[in-house]
Homo-oligomer: A and B are copies of this chain.
Amino acid sequence: MGEQAVRDAAVRAGEAAVELAVASRAAKDAALSAMADALVSRRAEIIAANETDVRGARAAGTGAAMLDRLSLDADRIDGMAAGLRQVAGLPDPVGEVVRGSTLPNGLELRQVRVPFGVVGIIYEGRPNVTADAAGLTLKSGNAVLLRGSSSARHSNAAIVAVLRDALTSVGLPADAIGLLPGESRDEVTHLMHARGLVDVLIPRGGAELIRHVVEGSTVPVIETGVGNCHIYVDASADVAMARDIVLNAKTQRPSVCNAAETLLVHAAAADAVLPVLLPALDAAGVTVHGDETVAAQGKALDIAVTPATEEDWGGEYLSLDLAVAVVPSLGAALAHIRRWSTGHSEAIVTGSQAAARTFTARVDAAAVLVNASTRFTDGSEFGFGAEIGISTQKLHARGPMGLPELTSTKYVVTGDGHVRG
């Protein structure tokens, strides 16, 4: 799709957004139900389209993990439908009065949540994101322009056709859900430059995609997150608690952004913690990349420790690998985190109220956790009901983003002939 076609699609989305902004919650929830029903009743055509994508990906030599993420079956489609029904059950953020007062001159001031307008979402080869993103943007009153991976383009086209029909069936504009076909990478560039037509862009995917969008877009971007998450085990930590939290944060789901990547251990606790943690990590299949102190402990315990380099402190493994360092103090842990954190989730395990207070005050990240696994940084765990991503930027939204984070606000000011003196 060329630049003019992308801009035309954005204009159509903008026209739909005008209607969606004033749609009632009842109308939007009816649409979400109709969308869910349609996904289930038209599973066969979605699965047929998906088979074309999967065949193509297999022919292109795509690996098993990617193929799995790309593949749809009846259960996965039912899961997408269930997700839409869940979003229908969430409160509507639009119209919420964020603050309000009557000014001394009698003017009534209300700051009210309103949709952004047109939200662009750029994502990779998981077709279920198509329905999830469409549901969340619809509920928050936004039109969406979806740009999925070209590897999933038949699946995405089938899903969006079903969703658009469902919108029409309840009287909402089909263009509230638009899809760029995924024919070329230029589509992403055109979307990034559709300033004034697209209100906000949300890239979801790997670090490279996100950096590309963040650095090149003239449309405002919400950056979703790479997570180089640390766990600092303080001098006063309970050793068993530290073990359980580290194991959970590292191994429960190593491929996600809120998994732990680095463990920092206070020197005063190292002799108690490492002889418990290193064997536990080893038993869980985790490769430890350690500094010299850790390597020495590993040698004494007969556990292999890979020497850590700068890349280990700075990288995001997303695998059963963990960088481990011993630090002389809480201050040194804070300095290490400041140096290497991506600002996603940072945890302390401690028995000390003073250490917890210092850590939560001084660590600059979307989520700072005390005596809890980094895996809890998640919209669903936080009780938001749904999540469009986890923001690691500081502007607008930081941390898990639910429906309110998909809105802006406006001030409504009501007088009876007020003029300024």
Instruction: Give me the interface of A with B, judged by CB distance under 8 Å.
Output: 18, 21-22, 101, 103-104, 107, 109, 111, 114, 116-117, 195, 199-200, 214-215, 218, 220-222, 238, 241, 244-245, 247-249, 252, 338, 356, 360-362, 364-373, 375-377, 381-383, 393-396, 398-400, 408-420
In the complex, what distance in Å separates the CA atom of A338 from the CA atom of B22?
A: 15
With a CB–CB cut-off of 8 A, which chain B residues contact A200?
Answer: 394-395
Query: Would B417 and A241 count as touching, CB distance under 8 A?
Result: yes
CB distance from A112 to the nearest CB of B (A): 8
CB distance from A195 to the nearest CB of B (A): 7
| Chain B, residue nearest A360 (CB) | B412
In the complex, what distance in Å separates the CA atom of A409 from the CA atom of B238?
A: 29
With a CB–CB cut-off of 8 A, which chain B residues contact A393?
Answer: 220
Known contacts A245-B419, A419-B244: does B411 contact A366 (CB below 8 Å)? yes
Q: Within the oligomer, what is the number of copies of this chain?
A: 2
**A interface, over-half SS:** mixed
With a CB–CB cut-off of 8 A, which chain B residues contact A247?
Answer: 419
In the complex, what distance in Å separates the CA atom of A417 from the CA atom of B350?
A: 10
Query: Would A117 and B220 count as touching, CB distance under 8 A?
Result: no
Query: Would B214 and A218 count as touching, CB distance under 8 A?
Result: yes
In the complex, given contacts A200-B395, A371-B418, what are 15 additional A-B residue pairs having Cβ atoms less than 8 angstroms apart? Answer: A21-B362, A114-B364, A238-B417, A248-B420, A356-B414, A365-B410, A368-B411, A369-B413, A370-B415, A371-B416, A372-B413, A373-B420, A376-B415, A396-B396, A398-B410
CB distance from A239 to the nearest CB of B (A): 11
CB distance from A130 to the nearest CB of B (A): 24
Known contacts A214-B218, A218-B214, A381-B420: does B413 contact A376 (CB below 8 Å)? yes
Query: Would B215 and A411 count as touching, CB distance under 8 A?
Result: no
With a CB–CB cut-off of 8 A, which chain B residues contact A338?
Answer: 18
| Chain B, residue nearest A334 (CB) | B18
Query: Would A372 and B245 count as touching, CB distance under 8 A?
Result: no
